[in-house]
Structure 1
């Protein structure tokens, strides 16, 4: 107890003593402590400033060292540029000449083969032959039955395809404007022949409805089809109001038959065609470039002089400030550079400078215009922009027609009413607007009610729909595809079916977003062996793989899409493969105006063009791939990865190196794809080169160079076409 009291007493005494000391601190002591604290802070700030200055100096020194190294490499590249560019030019010209010779020979043989053909088909280029053929086709009414028409239309379609191929395959300099106009007119006339004959075939089926009627239902149910056309006709002969819908079971195509139609002399034609003769006639399919207009404002002379004077004064002041800043910067850089160089012996002589200037002039790149801008699609909201949407699966016509008078048998006579003019007659049908609940109850027994028509269909088995299709109707007056009048769209991806309601009959199509697979996630071009490679693109939704061998290529992946079975593994030219893949719904080929619809970094066209050209030259031995840095860099810088690949095996991450291509030169960078920050510092082993071809010659082995030299021009052209078509350096 006493110890506790003693302890408490000591604590109280200590507390009182401390408190007394605190009270006794003089003003001078406080000032002294304050001064010491201030000095300490100043010392810390000074130390931090000196450290920051050291870091800045160190950074400036490193940058100066890099600048010296870069200048040295640039000077070395300038000295070899003329030789390298001449050598590259010679290689490209030789390949181009061989390719032109091969194509000219191919076209010559095709022309001779066409001339010697003895199958009765006209030469579509010969105006006399083709005009006679078209006139005879339209005048001949002895072959208007459906079977004959579909057979004859195959020839018409082959002639159209022949002319389109001729226009696409002939070099522009060999195309005469007059011939182009004549060929396009012939195409239009042949398309008109196809439409006319299919209508006449439909009419003949309708006129023979009684003879062709189904024994069970008593109605007309007739289907004739080939690879290009399916002509299906249903005719209402029995007028049974209990028939509410009908399905062409072979095509899995179903449509409603409202009561008002079930009691009328009507017919429905469902015609599916693989071809589309409508979209090309619409202005919605044409790129819409903006016209650059110079705006000239009228300014009074006195105001103009005043403005010019003020601008000159501002420019002079700005120039003085900039000159002063530039002078200070140059002085700092000169000191650092001089310190790094040690003496002036390494500076290039005047003769070398003049030589470098001459080399620069010798290979001055052609001026490249700015990328064109495209206008927005400013038509009505219901109009389909065909620059942003692809028509897939062909065209399907669902037409409501008048049933022509049927033959009557009187005794031993058959009386037939002739249709004049001999043409199908469309029946008008416009669905009523959606009724209210009261109107529904009031009109439920009305026979003339016109509800929307529900149409259900199986999607084409050879088309891959990656999203719910959009349905549109052809507006003949406006020459556009329109979405007006459609509702209740339903897409069953697993069952591969699609249904919708429409207020009108007509010519219809299904569409998919052109750019649904853009931008790409990644890409890779990897050699298999000499004149063989595999091109892989991981697009936004699908992953595709294209095998390349000599002049041909084929789609090898994906293998889990049955819709692509008809084109997978089929060896064709790049142009044919592009067409096949687009028709199958796998579009990884940007249009000239696709940058308007896809968020990308539009790379400089000259750099991109040269990169594809030179990658193709070395694609037998060098693998190329995307880089995550490419989209982050400016338009004038293209970043990609490359690695030597002589074995047909996947490459490891450490095998790849990062490369930078600009308008003037190409370099291998020290950094890797997995660095946190981009570093433009080049590696010392390869330096700078004027092009990818010669840079790869520096970094590749003798075996790789040997394979590159043995590569044939057809393989180079095939790879280059695919790279240009996919534009992977911009769209990945």
Structure 2
């Protein structure tokens, strides 16, 4: 039977339908994929356009902020430059008048900057031995010290630009630059210091030569004391040779020393020469900060590497140019071919290219150029032995004193009607070499109590050299806040040493300091230079326009510095009699700084003080900006310390408190606000000093500004703005100098 046609055709139709359905499904999927692709492209295109608009808007805002900051910083710089120019003109005119007044002075004193005058003065003084009596030496010494101080002032006060060729005409023979001019001034200062010491030694010799004429009628020994405001000369001469003399005291100076038995039987004299000045420390290498030098690569190696790098760059450049040339040619050919095809078909160029061509361009605004931040210096460690004094960590306080043992020259003898005197030319001091045999007390094997000698043991011999016990009253015009240290000057190595001293004792009520020394020589009292650092708190409060007071509660002492116009003075503490002679004395900031350091109040950190004091170091540019802008607003605003300044471990952020203060009254706590200053902006924070956590959000109703000055001016009252505008440039500079010298933002 033949097969049925209907069933086979039906099967074939079913297969065709399947293929058709499959084709339709594939076509539908392709259409969906195409629609999805087109939709994704549209979304990507819209997203790209949105991002471009957002980027343009962001850049516009950034440019607006840059422009605003640039305008504000330029306005601030303009204010500062105007003040600085007026200050420079004022000081330049002052120096001109001072030079003219020096030229017209007719008091017989030489000009220390003119070699002919000062050299003639020094040589004549050295050759003239007829005026070596102590009264004349002390009188002439005042002139010598005034000339030394004049040179010091010139070296500190004269800018390097004013040390021009006209000033150096007098140094043509040996000077060929500004450094030579400065060096010659320093050499002149050293010559004057040597002259003063030589004349004091010559006066000592004259006194010793006539010791019998000046001897005491009761003890038959020489007791001599002569003083002026800068120098005090004390001499004890052993004329009687009485072995029962154990010690002697100059009651006027509160200086007592023991006399060993061997010296009571010899022709000797003790000289104690007190001077309020210190001409020794500045010659010591530890007197100046020493910054580590960076190791630079060897020049030859650097040049070789540079040449190799240049050759490599040239080769890479040639290869890249070849590759770029080939790629560029291929790209140009492809673009030309596509353009020809579009012209043949009558198609328009792609829409994306047109959009890229008409894309909006946002011009970049020139940003304010901040000063370059110097790299933080690295200071060298003090590498001398432990007995050598580090003058960066310690200050000489109360000047120096010379404790010398000298040979008593032969005294004049009266024979009948004749007076026979032995003449020595030149008359020089003959020092007796004396070094104690031992400085260590005898102890038992266990190192406990001293061994008591037997009654039958040999007593100390006459030629034994025990250490000399000294009792001295501390200078009345210096504040010692701790037990002083004692040091002696090593003339050969030019430094202070602390070996050779034992048995220290200090009675604070009587201010008597006791020690034993194995050596005679030049000595000085020392105090820790950073004993008052870091500070506990500080506050700068205005009194009125061009008047303010800075209060610093240091580690040990609390002080107040009054500032008015271009001058300042110490107004507190009230309970320190050692400071009464400088309280209320108005002086320039530089003079006040030197005076306070000299009397024992050092609240002025040095460049390398961070090596000795634990502090939160702040960015130097931001810190200096802050002091300058505080000074600009200090007639109307009070500023104070903030605990957050040290707790926020970021040197780029400086925090402090501030408040408008128009009445000369203490401010309540709620009036103070917290301010944050960075290199880019300044803002008034929402948080307060008493919050538990730090939050960097600006206060409600305020916004940040580029600097503190514009921030305070925007939110100040009209009266405060008027005070700030009326503030004198000399007062602004005075406040800035004091703030910059105390570095309260770093050391509090």
Give ranges in structure 1 of 5+ residues lacking alignment.
1-69, 302-348
Which range is displaced more, 418-427 or 218-227?
418-427
Distance, in Å, in 1 between the alignment partners of 2:136 and 2:287 is 34
* 1:87 equivalenced with 2:75 (yes/no): yes
Contact 1:608 1:638 in 2 (8 A): yes
Which residue of structure 2 aligns with residue 168 of structure 1?
156
User: Which of the residues 697, 702, 710 maps onto 2:726?
Assistant: 710
Could you tell me how far 1:649 is from its partner in structure 2?
Answer: 0.4
Q: Does 1:657 align with 2:673?
A: yes
Q: Structure 1 length as normaliser, TM-score? A: 0.81
- 1:148 paired to 2:119: no
Shift of 1:73: 9.2
Q: Deviations over 1:313-348 (max 9, x none)?
A: xxxxxxxxxxxxxxxxxxxxxxxxxxxxxxxxxxxx
Counterpart mapping for 1:180-195 below 5 A: 180-195=182-197
Of the three residues 471, 488, 492, the one matched with 1:456 is: 471
Conservation of the 8 A alpha-carbon contact between 1:668 and 1:683:
yes
Aligned pairs (5 A) from 1:565-644: 565-631=580-646, 632-644=648-660
- Shift of residue 499, structure 1, vs aligned partner: 1.0
Provide the residue aligned with 2:705 in structure 1: 689
Do the aligned partners of residues 429 and 630 (structure 1) sit closer, same or farther apart at CA in structure 2, a change above 3 Å counting? same
Written as runs of structure 1 = structure 2, the 5 A alignment for 1:57-68 is: none
Report what 2:417 is aligned to.
Answer: 412
Asked whether 1:365 is paired with 2:370, we answer yes
CA distance in 2: counterparts of 1:419 and 1:443, whole angstroms: 42
Q: Cα deviation per residue 1:495-540 (whole Å; 9 max; x = unaligned)?
A: 1121100001110000100000001111111110010001111111
The alignment partner of 2:404 has SS state of: strand
Over aligned residues, Cα RMSD in angstroms?
2.2
Aligned residue number for residue 248 of structure 2: 246
Q: Is the partner of 2:559 in helix, strand or coil? A: strand
Residues 208 and 568 of structure 1: is their aligned pair in 2 closer, same or farther, counting only changes over 3 Å?
same
For residue 443 of structure 1, report the CA deviation from its aligned partner.
Answer: 4.2
* Structure of greater Rg: 2
CA distance, structure 1, for counterparts of residue 712 and residue 62 of structure 2: 17
Residue 480 of structure 1 aligns with which residue? 495
Residue 389 of structure 2 contacts residue 498 of structure 2 at CA under 8 Å; is this kept in 1? Answer: yes
Cross-structure match for 2:339? none
* Match of residue 222, structure 1, among 215, 221, 224: 224
- Does residue 500 of the first structure (1) align with residue 515 of the second (2)? yes
Sort the Cα spacing of 1:554 and 1:149 in 2 relative to 1 into closer, same or farther, 3 A. Answer: same
What does the per-residue CA deviation read over 1:190-226, in whole Å, with 9 as the maximum and x for residues that have no partner? 0000110010000011001000001110000001100
Task: Select between 469-478 and 82-91 the one with higher mean Cα deviation.
Answer: 82-91
Check whether the contact 1:392–1:511 (CA below 8 A) recurs between aligned residues: yes
Matches of residues 435-454 of structure 1 in structure 2 within 5 Å?
Answer: 436=442, 442-454=457-469
Q: Tell me what 2:693 maps to.
A: 677
Contact 1:627 1:641 in 2 (8 A): yes
Distance in structure 1 (CA, Å) of the matches to 2:240 and 2:249: 17
- Secondary structure at the aligned position of 1:689 is classed as coil
Give the CA deviation at 1:682.
1.2
Task: Name the SS for the 2:365 alignment partner.
Answer: helix
Residues 652 and 679 of structure 2 are in contact (CA less than 8 Å); yes or no, is this contact kept in structure 1? yes
Aligned-partner Cα distance in 1 for 2:452–2:700: 84
Which region of structure 1 is more displaced relative to structure 2, 174-183 or 614-623?
174-183
Alpha-carbon distance in 2 for matches of 1:694, 1:204:
70
The answer as to whether partners of 2:395 and 2:526 remain within 8 angstroms in 1 is yes
1:200 — aligned with what? 202
Give the 3-state SS of the residue equivalent to 2:271 in structure 1.
Answer: strand
The answer to whether structure 1 residue 287 and structure 2 residue 289 are counterparts is yes
Alpha-carbon distance in structure 1 between the residues aligned to 2:59 and 2:593: 44
Change (3 A) 1:243 1:519: same
1:118-133 pair list within 5 angstroms: 118-133=106-121
Q: Contact 1:686–1:698 (CA<8 Å) still a contact in 2? A: no
Match in the other structure for 1:305: none
Q: How far 1:72 sits from its partner (Å)?
A: 11
Normalised by the length of structure 2, the TM-score is 0.79
Residues 208-607 of structure 1: pairs in structure 2 closer than 5 A: 208-293=210-295, 354=363, 357-360=364-367, 363-433=368-438, 434=440, 436=442, 442-607=457-622
CA contact (8 A) 2:66 2:365 kept: no
Residue in structure 1 matching 2:741, options 715, 719, 725 = 725
Deviations 1:299-326 (A, max 9, x none): xx9xxxxxxxxxxxxxxxxxxxxxxxxx
Give distance in 2, aligned partners of 1:642 and 1:690. Answer: 17
- Structure 1 distance, partners of 2:59, 2:662, is 34
Deviation at 1:177, TM superposition (A): 1.7
| CA–CA separation in structure 1 for the residues paired with 2:414 and 2:624 | 74
Deviation at 1:489, TM superposition (A): 1.0
Unaligned runs of 5+ in 2: 1-57, 164-177, 306-358, 444-450
Per the TM alignment, residue 366 of structure 1 is displaced from its structure 2 partner at its CA by 2.7
Q: Secondary structure at the match of 1:688?
A: coil
Given the superposition, is the C-alpha separation of residues 209 and 279 from structure 1 closer, same or farther in structure 2, using an over 3 Å criterion?
Answer: same
